Amino acid sequence: MAPIAVGETIPDGTLAYFDEQDQLQQVSVHSLAAGKKVVLFGVPGAFTPTCSLKHVPGFIEKSEELKSKGVEDLLLISVNDPFVMKAWKKSYPDTKNVKFLGDGSAKYTHALGLELDLSEKGLGIRSRRFALLVDNLKVVVANIESGGEFTVSSAEDILAAL
């Protein structure tokens, strides 16, 4: 399956997260993104070095700046279960406007065409690192990394595109 591209509509799918009352929720991606400008960004795994030390902190730090440019929500997706995503979120002092969403079976990641097979490293099927700027379900910017790189999908890259 080809990766999602500029001009395409993001697929709908169900992701999981824990709400402010610590209740497990299932949510439709379309319900989070319809009628809004959002950044949907994905990482290979929770607690992994580049994801935890660079990619996610960049979006947390730049969240207010992104909001000032019209981005309503920052949606982080990882092929991890919602319990891992909850623990990962708690590892940051402040997650500001970033919603940590679990795609435990990689179904949504597959629907985006962005799966990455890291079985050789003992990690199984994961997500490629990416950042999509989405406006009312349409992809406006598709910054998709090759392999384990981190060169085009940062918060700064999305800010530059805005």
Catalytic residues: 51
What is the chain's length?
A: 162
Q: What does the radius of gyration of the chain's CA atoms come to, in whole angstroms?
A: 14
Contact 14, 27 (CB under 8 A): yes
38/132 Cα distance (integer angstroms): 8
Backbone angles phi, psi at 9, to 5 degrees: -90, 135
The β-bridge partners of 102 are 16, 78
